[in-house]
Each structure stands twice: as structure tokens, then as C-alpha cells.
Structure 1
């Protein structure tokens, strides 16, 4: 008995000790617009959660989430009440849903992920319900749910009877959100009806490193677009049910001992609801049917169910692709080099096809063992708290008013000199000159802190300056790791280049940016909100105070070797902190510009929206992987057009010349390019959603009935283009889907899909 008591005491002691640095470091985050006592960081143990597998911790966990009264039931959205809710290792028994607030992260111990275990009588829609139905509608409009994460958990529904409906995570969200490093454990019985992950709406998004064990369905999902990678499914009846989408990219799936791999047959061939799916670098083992589709060649809409497979390894998979009439592609134990169905332009079309295609030639610099390189966000599990240094230790205030330039720079320089990771406690850090990030820097943030440029240094449109400069000169050798923070601007900043990236990283491990976002306007502290920049339909007057940036991100000519994951470069279309989500007009000149001559970049789940000239521009570059890029044209166009905006073409930046290229083109021509590729090679796009929803803030132009007339063209490939290829190009609101050297290649009405138009395969030659 005495020995048993000692064991219990020891177990209790262990459960109160944080093994992971995030629980051990001092937390000094400050939310300047939420009150001085608002708690940014909350450890669930401090709110009464035990994590002993016996105590019902539901109320304690939700108390931690709701501390400080963040944006939850009835709130539209906010940036003023961030939260990082931390779960030390343990088993947290819950009897109803955990409901994270808006702008809130749930993060478990990465070195020993905690378990959320449902009781047998669990009641709720998801052990974690990311967007509850308090009424018949979701609490938050799913396309406006931004800036949230859940990572490092085990989600366990095995105590719920198998035949009782149960969901692990309910996650209808949008951009700048992520799920990472989560295991779903469900019963593996014949009568099981459990679902691991359920998504029914939204505009995602990125998900990585999930494992689904058992269940009727691993993941049942519908959303506009997503990039998902490294998902494992073991002993599920169906691994994935694709409810609906416009475009979806899966990378590195591992599906094992399931009856069906991906079921994308929803709606049937008469009304298919899945627009397109791209699946690459994946393995299916002991799966009865790899993919079920409703596509027949006479389906409705015409290109719905577009599918592209590349580098798919099958081990004992009798049927690779099954259609309504039976086997479309036989399986076995083999490798599918490349196969698909839909419409192709190689380089001209459209041609309806169903069968093998020529796989994309893959540059050696982009692959490891034949697969495209991937790397998960570092969480520094093996480092002690002493390996971290806080910006607060150098006097940074983060109050959106104090000039934090010197303090922030001193903290960065010290972290590199002492080989420590810099922790940016939450805050809005106002800077009045360039912040320089040298090689060797490792920087991570707490619940998306903001580096906020301000002042005249960044407000000269004729002399642009970087807000954050990575590497002192283009081509400087070295490596950085950057994660979980935002770069933004305050008031007029017409010359601000939010991120300038210069480093040349060579060798086996590239530099990385994970969950590093540019957010321009539309939140408290920017002075670029409804009060200053409310939309003015039919008035093309440009307000100087609403010119918020020169460029979101510039990758310079000598840079190379950068891995980007879940990076969103957003010029705001609405005020997040206005409870009506009122639309605003702000002007950012350019989105992501890559002019690296050596190239070698990976873009997984990136987006660029509402910039004036272009969202993505690639010039004189090469060796670029892009997984499900997503863009939107500014909502105010053509009031003004690009030519009426405050930004003029700069030849040294290879800006597009709309005055020349629009000559003779009918419709709204001088509108932002979604993707522009000039004199580049080995640009490999695995999914693209390029959208133009508005003219002059009206959505009447973005339907097939209206002739997709929001703008005349949206993709331009110019000059030489060797191995510039796109799988599942989805466009909305643009009459021309793709132009080559000024000539239209694909017309929207030839490629009608569920809401966008879709070209399954485009190859430049």
C-alpha cells in the first residue's frame, strides 16, 4: 500500500511539471487593446484541469479558453483578444465539447502530446468544436474564421459506443488556420460511425501531420480549397469523404487497411459536388478501392470531379479508381506515374481525357527520394526553456505606440549571438526602421504577435524600404527558421515592403517560414479601419492614408532554398474588429514577387490576396513547387483599375504594363493578375484557386450566368516557359482562365465546374 501511494505521489508530481519549454518559460504577452490584466497565455492546469484521466476537465478547459472574455458566442471576429491555451502532458477527460474562441490557439506539449478523451456519455459536435452551432447557423461565418491553430493532441473517442455518432474535431475555418500533429483514435469495429475530422464550410487552409486510427471515416470534408499533407489513415472504413470543394491538394497521404481511400463521388454524375482533387506522393496499402469518383465524361457540371494523380504507390489495391460504371483504372501492386480525368491543355485545348498523363519532370533540387521535399514547423521539443530568450527582456513593449525598433533588433541579434530561439511574446511591436534578421536566427511567436511598421521611413512610394529584411544582401549564405508571427503596417505606408528575403540556403535543409503572415489593414492598431478606409463604391478616389504597402513579400535575385508553409499575404477586404465585418478599401501594390535566378522554393498552402498589380509574380526564376495557391482580386476594381491606383509600373521590378497589354482587350482588363510567370522554368503548380468575386464591390459578375465577367484575364505566362505546368487550375470571375504571351489559351465557358471553371492539366509545352 505504501509503495502504491509513492507511485501515485510520483505520478502527481510528474503531471505538474512541464516537460515542454512552452510551459516553462515566462509568459509576458500583452494585448494592448484588451486591458492590462487580459491573459494572453493560459495553462489549463491553472484553471483547475487535472489531466489525470479520471476528473472531468471540461469546465476547467473551457474556463481557460474564456478567461478575459475573448470573442466567442455571438461575437463576429476580433484581433484584440488573442489566446494561447496550453495543455501539459496528461489525459483530459471531457464530457462535452471544447470550444476555442476566435483568434485562439490550443497547443499541447509537443514532446508528449496530451490526450483529450471523451466520456462514454459525451455530448457535443466534436471533442474540439471549432465553430459551434449555437443556432441553425455556425457561430462565425466560416469564410472569415482566421488566425487559429490546434496542435499536439491525441483525440480519443474510443469510450463512446461505436454505433453512437461522434466527431473528433469540427473545423469549418478559413485562411491562416492550421491543425498539426494530432492523432485521432476511434473504435475499429464493423458498426462504428465515428468521424475523426469534419469540415463542412470555409475557405481554407492548411493541415498537416494527422493520424486517423479506426472509425467509419477518417476525415469528411467540404471547403473551397485546402492543402493537406502527411495524413495517415489506419483501419478506417473510408479514409476521406470529399463532400464538396473547388480545389483540394493532398500531398503524402498514407492510407492503410481501409475499404476506400478517397470517396469523391458525392452528388453522383448528374450533380457532382467535388470540383477537383490533386493527389501526389502518396501510398495506399491494402485498400479495396483507392478512389471513388462520379466522373463519367458526361457528368454535370462538365469538368466536375477533375482528378490528377502523380507518383502514387499501390500495395494490394485491387481498384485504383472506380467510377459509376466500374473500374476506371485497375490497381494491384504498382506505381501510378501520372493519371487523371477532366480537361487538358497541352498546351492547347480543351481536350476531355481520362487516362495516363505525362508526369511533371521534377528538378532534383526540389525532391528527396523522388518526392517533393516537406518539413513540418519546428516546435523545438528537445530544447529546454533556457534555450529561449524573450523580446520583453530587451525592453520591447508591444503596445502599438512605443517605438520598439531598437529593442526588437537587440533581441534578434542577441538570440543569434547566444544560439537561442527568440520568443516574441504577444504584442503589436511598432517599428520605424527596418528590422534585420541575420542568418542563424530562429524566431517564433506567441499567438501571432505583430511587427508593425510606422512613420515616414516606410511612406515614400518612390523609395520603398523593407519592414523585415531577412539577410543583409541578396545571396547572403545562411539559414533561418521563422514561425507564428505577422508583419503589418500602421497608417499610410506607401513604401513598405513587408518582407524582403535575401538568404541563399543550400544543402539538405532549406530555410523555413511557417505561419508567417502579412496582414495589411482592417484591425485595431493599424489606423486603417472602417473609420479611415471604409469602402466607397463608385468613387475611385484613392485616400492617401489607405495606401498600406508597396509590396507584401520580395524574394530577391540571389536568394534560394526557402520552404514556405501556410503563409498568407492579405490586404484586408474588411475590418476584422468591426462586428459588422464592414468592407474597407486599402491599397497594397504587389503580393509575392520571386525573382530568384536559382530558385528552389516550396510553397505549401500559401495565399496572396487583394494586391493591386498581382498576387504572385515569378520572373527569371526556376524550380518552384506550389501546392494549392489561392488568390483574390481587390474587391474595388475597376474603381479604380490598376492604372488608376496609386502604384505605377516599375521596370526594375518587372511590373506588368497594363496600358500596353490591355490594348484591344475588352472587359475589365486592367485588373490584378492572380499568377504571372515570366521567362521562368520548372514552375510546378499542384492546384490553384484564382478568384475574382467582385466588380465595384458587387458579386453579380462572378457567376456563369453573368459570364464570369469580373475581369478579362487572371493568369499570364510570358516569354520562355519550359516545364511551367499547372494541375487543377480553378478560376472564378475571369473570362480568360490563362493567357500565353498575350493570347488567350483557356476560356471559362469551355471548362464549367461546380462554381469555378477548371482545367485539370495545363502544360506549357
Structure 2
């Protein structure tokens, strides 16, 4: 054999051994409401892309995206045409924007991320333009862009002249979306104007593990709220520029050799940045870590709220710079900001306007990594496994057609995967189950394009005898760990007793279980039978339709459970029909959001949301040691017609709020869902909260400052003598007159803490 042939053979063998499983595994995903043969999985090379760094692959990549006519230009939204567009390793030269469709994931080889490299004459708004301006408006309303991912790429604009405008990814997005494991390479010339990540609208959201090299701005962003974790910026003129926000949480920033770290100076006369929380981060060789427009005379009152905790500085002369000079000095050597901020604080009474050092939150050891920072863990992508180490749900007999009873087949597939030490691959489909699916210790489940497990039938429809749809651990306190990622749990038709996820597993704090990009989506999609045709909104009419009582609880973490890491988990009861061309609003009744009553606690919630549940969105009872990073809630749009007294009776064993008694003497719309309720719990550490009440009986007239924020009377509560070390950074509320109550007494009033659209409290400590 000639040497060249031998080397090619060896290279081919090595490539085969090291190939990422996603490219090799058999793909059986089935979209039951698309046409027969619709391709859920698409490998761009099957559509002509070369990935050789020479061929222009733009047309081929976009052909892979548009195959099967998914939701593109002019389409409002959909769940019927899911897609995974897979990029094997290589360099894909592109001369125009890649434009992913709605409900589409772009995924590169996790073991060798592919490069999208722009040509010198590139034309388009973003190498990846995830929400194009086909007209003067975004193609999709940014606050309704859900269920999308981009991960495992290198985005390279270095061929584009530095002085020409260029954007790596255009990402106006909202809940249940994520960016992960992406490197942005941009020129470093003095005249560079390139931007890595740009978003101007939305209601997000979560991103993690991004690296920005060069450019004028690493990330330029405007969005309601976001959680961003593990972002690295190297040699950017400005690492982060905020166009606007309501609330933002950063964890694990590493900003190196930049001119400015975070710029929150946007706004002329009115500060556009609502609040920023930064913790467990570092700035190195950067003249100004944070540049702010906040002053003691800022307008509105609490705009520009900033809280810093555990920030390491190395050769950063100015830590915080404002229009009145240096607010916080840094060091030309090394120093650590223990805690500092500006805004309004309640410790526990207030408001007190402050700008200076703070007492840092006491951190339970069980929540920390060995470096003293809060524990974090990125979603596993199993890049070291081969395709043979996965078991397919559909190959195991499950249909995923939204009609067949898949209970037995799906349970058998899970059990077989665990017994063989393999990962269950939940091929795309809607898996209808009529009794509880049990997840035993040791399980690893990965969904394809948000495959859905959907409860149905009478087993789940007894409001007085709730049953779990997905039960993790057979009994409360069972020991072990599981890993769950990239799928949805839902309900079909009336399901008044459905608890979508019951978490019983007790995992060690040093090796917790994990949920990444796992969501509950209750109603509002084809197959749910909980859409416009069944549950159209009826403003002014308090009558509850029985067929629209669709869940008892989204997620229950039981008393014996412990050790769970949750990242980008959205517990959503649909407010509108995603598959309706007009996104028409619907009225659905889901009793409770996330209920944690674990006595041991030790939970991490990064970038989670809980929306439109009747009684509460988050409730923590007699628990402890919980980290929460930018939680986001919305009160049901129909309340108070009917109010939170119906249709779910208050269950004392679940510590449900009893509005019939607790609202005595409270004026306004009191019997409305709590955004956050903490009962007799300790070491509850909230790093960002957006608790929103936009509607009263489907009217938004109540949610403005001019209207007096009258959508509901109260939205967050700390209750009981057992509460201690309940601390909140960046509490942002909309539509509620009282931002926070302690044992029924209002602590913070919206009018005292006016921000750009919400009211904001920088620091609350329970005392």
C-alpha cells in the first residue's frame, strides 16, 4: 500500500472512531402533524454542503434548513415542523446569512465544533440571522420566539474587512431558547466595528459557554431578562454593551484585555438599563470593568441598578465608572470585590438608596464548587460516546404519533437503557402516555428537537388524586443520579390531576442530578387538544370549562429529594396557541408551578421560568440551600376573572396559599397567583427575579405606572418564623402594587422603586 493511501486510510479510521454520535446514529424522528416523510433530522452535507473551507456552502445549508417547508418567512410560529440541522466538523464558507426556521436547532459536532466562516464579500445581518428583518419588523415577534437552540460552532468574521459592519449571530429570542459552546472570532484592528452577538428584543432566556475574541463589541444586547453563564471575552474593545433591559444576571464572566468590560450607559436623559447582577466573575487587564450612567439623580429612580459579588480584578484601575467619576476603584495589581452595588435596598426595611459596599450573601457550602463559586455544570453532550451507546425510543417500539398509547414501550426503552448503561435517545415525536413513566436512578435521556412526553386519559384527570406524568425516583429520597436534556413534558385534553414532573431522587451535592433544556409545555399546540378550538379566551366570563383544566402542578420536588441542578427549564402553561396563525390567546387552568418542599434542599436553578399557573409560579416550603438565577414569572392573564380561588381547592398538605383567608383586609386584586412564595425556609439566594403581572382579565391597562400597577395587590411573599437568610438581588416586578410582603405586611411598594418599565429593588435581605 502506498504511504499516501495508508495515511488516508488511517485518517478515515480515526475519523470514524472519533465521529460525534449525532452524525452516526440512526434518525427516526417523526413529526406526526407534518406531511409523511417530513425530515426532522438534516445533515447539511446531505444537502450539498462541503465544509472544506473553499466551497460556498450558503445555499446548501439554507436548503437543509428549508427542506420540508418549516416555519420561515411570514409564518407566525409552529410546533408541527421541528428540525435538527446538523453540521459535521469542517469549515463552512458562507457569503450570506444562515436563517434557521422556527422550532429549529442548529447543532455542530460537539467533539470538533465546525466553523462558519464569512467570505470577504459577505452580505447579510448576521452569519446566523435567527430572526430576519424581511420587512421593517422582525419576522417573528421576539417575545414569542420559543424552543430554539444553536450549539457547538465557531463563528468567524475575520475575512470581512474590520471597518465593514458584521454580526456573528442575530438572536432576538425568548424563553426555552439557548446558545451553548460557541466561539466568535473577529478582527482586532483598531478600526474594527464587528459585533459577535446581537439581540435587540425578546423575553429570554439563557446562554452559556460562549467565547468572544476581538471585535468592537463582544455582545450587544437588549432584552427583558436573561441569565448568561460562563462567557469569556478576549481583546474586545467593549466586552458587553447593554441597549436596554429590565433585569440581567451574569455568572462566571471572564473579561480579558478589553477596553471596557460592561457598558450600561445607554440612554440620553433616561437610563435604559434596568438592573444588572454580576457574580463569581473576573476582569483582567481592562481599564474600566463597568461603565454606568447611574447617578443619585438617575431617571427613573432605580434605573441602572447594579449588584456585584465575588468579582476578581487583575490590573483593572477602575472597577465602576460613572458620569460623576470613579464610583469604585480597582487596582493595578489584584483585588476582589466582595460585594458592592447601587440602587435601592431593604435590609430588611427600606427603601434606602445606596452606592457602596454590601454585606455579601452567606453561601451554604453545599451549593459551592471547590473554588468557592456557586456550582455550575453545562449540559452534557456525550461527545466521547459512540452511536452504539444510545438506544432509540422509536426503535424500541414507541410510536410518538400523539395517538398510540406509548406507555409500555417508552417505559421498556428507559429500563433497557439503564440496565445496559446506555443513553436513551428520545427521537422526535409526541409520546402519548396513559399512566406514570418512571425514571430510575442511572437514567440518561436526550431528546431530539424537543421530543414530547404527553399525558392523556382518566388516570391523570382526578383533581383530588393527582398523579405524576414523569416520576424521577420511585419514592421520595431514593438515592442516585439522572441526567435529562432536550425534551418536553405536556398534557392532552383535560388533565386536572396531572403533575408533569415529580422529583423524588436524592443525589449528592458533589454529584447532583441535572435537567438541561427540559420544559413543561401545557397546552397551546397541535396534539394537545387544548387550543383555540377548545379553550378560546372569554374575557369577562369567569366560568371555568372543565376541558380546560389541564394540569394539577408543573413540577414537584418532594420532601426526601435533594441535589438537583436545573438549567434553562421553562414551566409554561400556554397563554396563546402557538399553532394558530394569529397566536390567539387561550384560557387554560394549571394549578401550581414549581413546588419545592425538600427538607435537605441543595438545588441550583439557572435561567428558569414558571408562568400562568393559578396559585403560584414558585413555592418553597420548609426547604433550604437553594440558588436561583434570574427566575421569571407571569400571572395568568385571565385573573381575576376568575380569580385564584378556582378551580383548584387549597390543599393544606401541599401548603397551598389560602386566598380566602390571607386576602382579608387587602385591597385590590389580592386573590391572584404568587410569583414567588417562600415559607419557613432558609438559605434561599435569588440572583435576579422578574415577577410580572401584565394583565387583568386580558387587559394590559393595569400594568403601567400611570395606572398604579393595579393588575394584582401582591406578587412575592416571605412567610414564617423559620425563614432566614432569604436574600434577593435584583427584584423586578410589573403590575403588582406590593413588590414583596413579609408575613402579610408589605415590605416594598412599587411606587418607591420605579425603573424603566418594572419596579426594581437592588437588594433585599430578610434579616
> TM-score range with shorter-chain normalisation?
over 0.9
Partner Cα distance (1:153, 1:739) in 2: 45
Q: Provide the residue aligned with 1:337 in structure 2.
A: 338
TM-score, length basis structure 2: 0.98
Q: Provide the residue aligned with 2:532 in structure 1.
A: 530
Partner Cα distance (1:118, 1:7) in 2: 31
Partner Cα distance (1:687, 1:199) in 2: 20
Q: Deviations over 1:398-453 (max 9, x none)?
A: 00000000000000000000000000000000000000000000000000000000
Partner Cα distance (1:675, 1:20) in 2: 41
Partner Cα distance (1:406, 1:740) in 2: 48
In structure 1, the gaps of 5 or more residues are none
Per the TM alignment, residue 393 of structure 1 is displaced from its structure 2 partner at its CA by: 2.1
Q: Deviations over 1:357-409 (max 9, x none)?
A: 00000000000121000000000010111110001122100000000000000
Q: Provide the residue aligned with 2:643 in structure 1.
A: 641
Aligned-partner SS, 1:22: helix
Partner Cα distance (2:605, 2:106) in 1: 25
Partner Cα distance (2:581, 2:538) in 1: 19
Q: Provide the residue aligned with 1:558 in structure 2.
A: 560
Q: Provide the residue aligned with 2:53 in structure 1.
A: 53
Aligned-partner SS, 1:552: strand
Partner Cα distance (2:9, 2:392) in 1: 34
Partner Cα distance (1:131, 1:8) in 2: 41
Q: Provide the residue aligned with 1:322 in structure 2.
A: 321
Q: Provide the residue aligned with 1:176 in structure 2.
A: 176
Aligned-partner SS, 2:161: coil
Per the TM alignment, residue 508 of structure 1 is displaced from its structure 2 partner at its CA by: 1.6
- Higher mean C-alpha displacement, 6-15 vs 536-545: 6-15
Find the partner of 1:448 among 423, 447, 450: 450
Aligned-partner SS, 2:691: strand
Residues 507, 348 of structure 1: alpha-carbon distance in 2 compared, 3 angstrom cutoff: closer
In structure 2, the gaps of 5 or more residues are none
Contact 1:18–1:88, Cα closer than 8 Å, also in 2: no
Residues 7, 280 of structure 1: alpha-carbon distance in 2 compared, 3 angstrom cutoff: same
Partner Cα distance (1:432, 1:734) in 2: 39
Question: How many pairs align?
Answer: 762
Partner Cα distance (1:36, 1:470) in 2: 34
Aligned-partner SS, 2:143: helix
Q: Provide the residue aligned with 1:121 in structure 2.
A: 121
Partner Cα distance (1:741, 1:554) in 2: 24
Contact 1:15–1:90, Cα closer than 8 Å, also in 2: no
Q: Provide the residue aligned with 1:688 in structure 2.
A: 689
Q: Provide the residue aligned with 1:284 in structure 2.
A: 283
Q: Provide the residue aligned with 1:83 in structure 2.
A: 83
Asked if residue 541 in structure 1 is aligned to residue 543 in structure 2, the reply is yes
Partner Cα distance (1:744, 1:701) in 2: 20
Q: Provide the residue aligned with 1:513 in structure 2.
A: 515
Partner Cα distance (2:461, 2:159) in 1: 59
Contact 2:509–2:602, Cα closer than 8 Å, also in 1: no
Give matches, 1:338-737, under 5 Å: 338-368=339-369, 369-643=371-645, 645-719=646-720, 720-737=722-739
Q: Deviations over 1:128-166 (max 9, x none)?
A: 001000000000000000000000000000000011110
Q: Deviations over 1:651-684 (max 9, x none)?
A: 0000011111100111000000000000000000
Contact 2:367–2:509, Cα closer than 8 Å, also in 1: no
Aligned-partner SS, 1:561: strand
Aligned-partner SS, 2:23: helix
Residues 679, 98 of structure 1: alpha-carbon distance in 2 compared, 3 angstrom cutoff: same
Aligned-partner SS, 2:702: coil
Partner Cα distance (2:395, 2:3) in 1: 45
Q: Provide the residue aligned with 1:191 in structure 2.
A: 191
Per the TM alignment, residue 100 of structure 1 is displaced from its structure 2 partner at its CA by: 0.2
Give matches, 1:98-117, under 5 Å: 98-117=98-117
Per the TM alignment, residue 575 of structure 1 is displaced from its structure 2 partner at its CA by: 0.1
Partner Cα distance (2:750, 2:19) in 1: 55
TM-score, length basis structure 1: 0.98
Per the TM alignment, residue 75 of structure 1 is displaced from its structure 2 partner at its CA by: 0.2
Give matches, 1:13-162, under 5 Å: 19-162=19-162
Aligned-partner SS, 1:590: strand
Q: Deviations over 1:194-245 (max 9, x none)?
A: 0000010000000000000000000000000000000000000000001100
Per the TM alignment, residue 5 of structure 1 is displaced from its structure 2 partner at its CA by: 8.8
Partner Cα distance (2:233, 2:9) in 1: 38
Contact 1:15–1:89, Cα closer than 8 Å, also in 2: no
Residues 389, 710 of structure 1: alpha-carbon distance in 2 compared, 3 angstrom cutoff: same
Partner Cα distance (2:325, 2:10) in 1: 60
Aligned-partner SS, 2:173: coil
Per the TM alignment, residue 9 of structure 1 is displaced from its structure 2 partner at its CA by: 8.9
Per the TM alignment, residue 725 of structure 1 is displaced from its structure 2 partner at its CA by: 0.4
Per the TM alignment, residue 506 of structure 1 is displaced from its structure 2 partner at its CA by: 1.0
Partner Cα distance (1:10, 1:224) in 2: 51
Contact 2:490–2:500, Cα closer than 8 Å, also in 1: yes
